[in-house]
């Protein structure tokens, strides 16, 4: 899946990309390309066929009939969110058949709501991993795995849909994980999805479901610092 981000301001492109990255959390097979010119973006539409465009149209571009016609004539599966500095441009978004509208400055909650409109498209791009469970290969969506833990020579996979045991070791399971997943290693026994972490104390990782995972003494300082960095950068 391809996402295009278009804004003349590098600062604004960086801001919306940060929000999109946080929404995706590395759990989807998505590539993001940035453009500083709507003309350059439009020239690539027939070639790379993005599934979603997040576009800021300066006032003079909105009035350009060629640009408007190209945006209106895009494929039906090429969704678009228009961004602007003010809500007064909302009607312009409708004129180019935009599927969503966002005002600046970007707020994560508003971006999440806008992207949720396309969750069916995103769902098809979810990163998956398969493990042998009860002699059958079972596929797990990366963002539905809460944490994994060592269980003897096997691994317990705790998910939103229940707990599953695979004879794969935790070390091997971690090696199989797709790149980009936001997981945290806690000693030799736990591999935790950071999206389900509620808090990290000096001695424990507390999950959103209430589970408490003890942090080995040698890792306590490192994990506390990592958590604080994520909080300060508004990653979680």
Average pLDDT over residues 179-201: 88
Identify whether residues 99 and 201 lie together within a single domain: no
Distance, in Å, from the CA atom of 50 to the CA atom of 1, rounded to the nearest integer, reads: 7
pLDDT in tens, 83-140: 999 998 899 898 899 999 999 999 999 999 999 999 887 877 778 889 999 999 999 9
The residue out of 124, 156, 180 marking a domain boundary is 124
Residue 8 contacts by C-beta under 8 Å, 6 or more apart in sequence?
Answer: 36, 37, 56, 58
d(CA 173, CA 160): 18
Rounded CA separation 222/228 (Å): 10
pLDDT confidence of 236, banded at 50, 70, 90? low
Number of domains in the chain: 2
Which pLDDT score, from 0 to 100, does residue 11 have? 96
- Residue 146's domain is classified under what CATH number? 2.40.50.1020
Co-location of 136 and 92 in the same domain: no
pTM (predicted TM-score):
0.66
The answer, yes or no, to whether the previous bond of 105 is cis (omega within 30 of 0) is yes
């Amino acid at each position: 899946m391809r996402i295009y981000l278009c804004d003349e301001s590098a600062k604004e492109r960086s801001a919306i990309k940060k929000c999109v990255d946080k929404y995706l959390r590395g759990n989807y097979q998505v590539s993001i390309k940035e453009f500083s010119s709507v003309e350059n973006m439009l020239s690539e539409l027939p070639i790379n066929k993005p599934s979603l465009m997040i576009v800021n149209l300066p006032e003079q571009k909105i009035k350009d009939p060629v640009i408007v016609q190209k945006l209106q004539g895009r494929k039906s599966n090429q969704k678009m969110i228009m961004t602007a500095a003010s809500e007064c441009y909302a009607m312009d978004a409708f004129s180019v058949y935009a599927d969503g509208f966002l005002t600046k400055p970007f707020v994560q909650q508003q971006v999440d709501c806008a992207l949720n409109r396309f969750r069916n498209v995103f769902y098809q791009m979810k990163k998956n991993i398969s493990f042998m469970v009860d002699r059958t290969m079972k596929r797990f969506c990366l963002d539905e795995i809460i944490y994994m833990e060592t269980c003897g020579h096997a691994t317990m996979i705790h998910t939103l849909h229940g707990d599953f045991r695979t004879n794969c070791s935790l070390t091997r399971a971690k090696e199989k994980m797709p790149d980009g997943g936001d997981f945290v290693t806690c000693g030799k026994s736990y591999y935790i999805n950071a999206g389900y972490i509620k808090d990290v104390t000096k001695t424990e990782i507390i999950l959103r479901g209430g589970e408490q995972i003890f942090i080995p003494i040698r890792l306590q300082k490192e994990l506390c610092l990592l958590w604080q960095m994520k909080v300060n950068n508004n990653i979680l």
